[in-house]
Amino acid sequence: MASVHTNSLLLVISIFGLGLVLSVQSVYYIKVFFDEFHLPSNYLKIVQIIYLVWNAVNDPLMGYMQDIGCGMKWIMDRRKVVLYAGPALCASFLLFWFPWSTTVGWVTALHLLVSLCIYDTLFTLVLSAYCGLCVEASGKHQDRVRILVYGEVATILGGSLIFPLERIPHSQEYFWMFQSCCVAIAVMAAVLLLFSGSKMRIERPTNEAYELGDEQDLKGDSSSKHALQVSWQIIKEPRFICLVGAQFFRIMRFMANENYLLIYVGTLLVEGGFFQNETTSLGLYYVALRSSGSILFLLLWMPTNRFGSQAVIQALNVVSIANILVALTFSQNNLLCLSVFLVIENAITRCGWQGFYLVVAGEVIDTDVVQNNRKKPLSTMIFTLKALFTKPAEQLAPVIVLQAFLENGGFPKLSVPCQDYLSGSGAGNLTSLAMESSLNLTAIGSTTDPLSVACASLRTWTFTAVVAFPAICVAGESLFVAIDQLVRRRINSVATSD
């Protein structure tokens, strides 16, 4: 038991290092490429689609390399993956923040595509190894939940980085300060991953009920045919399908909130006058948005142990629907109510968005070992196959929100100019942008200043995105979790009768 706790703490150090780079990359990369590097919005859609295709190859490839082998023995050792690939991941994180061009759109798009592909490949390699270590550190449900709870504490600490970053002046002449902070973050994360990777000791467990005569395991065979056979065994399992479907919608919701967090708050609350840029109150609010989910997860530790992850997920989804209905009724013109809605929405979205499903994935891995008579669990393979189907949600969410909601309000053309207009500068520039945008101000039927109408339309569409997209995702996630609960009961009843 002592070794489990020691390894748990070392895993926390690993996820803290990963969280440092992830918390900055996921929140800032879209805003930086739009506001600082002037990426045209149509290029973002192209990049995300190409990146989606790369993800379809990248994720299962990482799983095969770690569980089947690729000629490099260190990749099959999860600890060494953290030790060797972790620092390389931190170096790839820096690719985002140093522009190749700020005037040529296709060069900026190529910069984003290359950065995303290199960063995500290394992140998938390290994160899949981390997830495998979390499951294999112990077979007990309580131990797995404890590891996740420790990880959420690390996530809270990592999420607090947004406070000092938001205190940095946002004007372009001070962008070098942000870049310097990113270099410091990358170095700190690399040191943490090196330390944890060099110290942890976790052995892959062996199935005690394994029977040589009925073996369906890989037996060291690295052929693509056998790999596809094993993949099909995993993919067709009902619980795996439910896990993929539910987490797909949760990731869509999470990534929309994560990628557009600064834009949502800036458009709805800063432009509305509730917060001022570069203030302590705004920085603390961002910390609350990013940390509230982890705090909520810690509070739900005991209910998760007692009732299971699926029951807690469904309860949170009920609260989400109630929060959305309240927002639709009261929040659009009430900035205090809107600020509370955003905290609750981010808390529920972030609460166990990986942790709950890591526990469920552990159950799927345990079931797969027994049903397919594996000698050892194929943890990494299952995680990366899951990622094959869920990772597209990371690229689809920003594109769907942009295409279906934000562009209808004139984003990103009106985003920065609206801030300038409300602060009393840049009105002439906003006038031309408003007239160039797709907004039909005459059809709105307003005799007010067209500039204020344009900004009001942007806020309206942003608010619509904030409430409508989560509602769609909650419905999809709840459906798959409900089906998974039924399937789990059936499997347990069959096992009990046997």
The domain limits of the chain are: 2-200+224-497
* 179 pLDDT more than 50: yes
Q: Which CATH superfamily is domain 2-200+224-497 in?
A: MFS general substrate transporter like domains (1.20.1250.20)
Interval 118-143: pLDDT, tens: 998 898 888 888 877 776 666 566 66
Of 103, 156, 143, 117, nearest in space to 2 by CA: 143
pTM: 0.70
Between 373 and 444, the more confident residue is 373
Interval 273-291: pLDDT, tens: 888 877 888 888 988 888 8
**Tokens read off for 267:** 């458009």
* 473 pLDDT more than 50: yes
Please give the Cα distance from 226 to 229 (Å, whole number): 5
Amino acid at residue number 50: I
Is-contact 197 61, C-beta < 8 A? no
Band of residue 339 on the pLDDT scale cut at 50, 70, 90: very high
77, 78, 457 from 198: Cα distances, Å: 12, 11, 54
Is-contact 374 210, C-beta < 8 A? yes
Q: Cβ atoms within 10 A of the Cβ of 161, count? A: 21
Between 18 and 438, the more confident residue is 18
Of 337, 326, 165, 313, nearest in space to 253 by CA: 313
